[in-house]
Amino acid sequence: MFRNKQGNLSIGKIIAAAVVAILVISIVFGSFVVIPAGHTGVVVTLGKVSDTVLQEGMHFKIPFAQEIVQIDNRIVKLEVSTEAFSKDLQTVSTVLAVNYRIAKNMSYSIYKEVGAAFEEVLVSPAVNEALKAVVAKYTASDLVASRSEVSLQLDTELNEKLNTRGIYIEDLNIIDWDFSPEYIAAVEAKQVAEQTLIKTQTEQEQQIVIAEAEAEKKVIAANAEAESSLIEAEAEAKRIKLEAEAQAEANRILAESVTDPLIDYQTIEKWDGQLPQVTMGESGSPLIGVTLPE
């Protein structure tokens, strides 16, 4: 009987010692916390959030009185799908990829104000609001052509809204624009009409070029023909002039070669031996019927 009591006492001591050991180990391990890389620790003491945050590494905390809430300060990607209305009242379905981070020195204020669900409470609503505000400034067609400009405006709008809360937008990309089927059909019809118009204008311009080339060809031909006729006329005039000058020169030479002795000689050569029936007297009166005896 004595032995049983002693045995039960020993077992009780062992259990008590084990419980104490477990409590001591729990207290020891509960007195330290490790903050991983890229995170900060928000210290909550009996429900009160401290203004200081714990940086990366091992830190001491009061067991059972303090809780350390880890905040991820690395760049986080958020994908948002939402709808907005363009300036011309077209429904624009948009998918955005937003990369943001939490400033380490502001981790405590974000947790204090909105808790750990800051993405749902702050970031997502801000993205939706900024998108609606920016998209409303553009027509649907301008949105497609101004994609990079819209992204920059969204980035600026979001940083203005969230920086005071300690949230910073590192990058923002528009993954997709999507419009209503009616608008897409209207755009396609417009593109077809524009292509048809361009084709018609091109054909007209080609016809004008051909017509102008043909007209220019005719002008060149006419000018060439006129120039040829002018050259021929000038050549003919020159030829006639040369012939006239040659004839005049020949006449001059002939006139200079005809002398009185030559005329007398030619007269004698051509005389048939008959005296003229009419001769002129000294007074200039004609003498008619002069007949010489045989």
3-state secondary structure string across 164-203: HHCEEEEEEEEEEEEECHHHHHHHHHHHHHHHHHHHHHHH
DSSP letter at 80 equals E
Judge contact between 86 and 140, C-beta under 8 A.
Answer: yes
CA distance 94 to 138: 14
Judge contact between 80 and 127, C-beta under 8 A.
Answer: yes
User: Mean pLDDT over residues 184-203, rounded?
Assistant: 74
Token couple for 180 = 């209503």
The phi-psi region of residue 63 (left if phi > 0; otherwise alpha if psi is between -120 and 50; otherwise beta) is beta
Q: What is the pLDDT of residue 2?
A: 46
Residue 7 has pLDDT above 60, yes or no: no
- pLDDT per residue over 149-167, tens digit each? 999 999 999 999 999 999 9
Task: For the chain, give the number of residues.
Answer: 294
The better pLDDT of the pair 56, 224 is held by 56
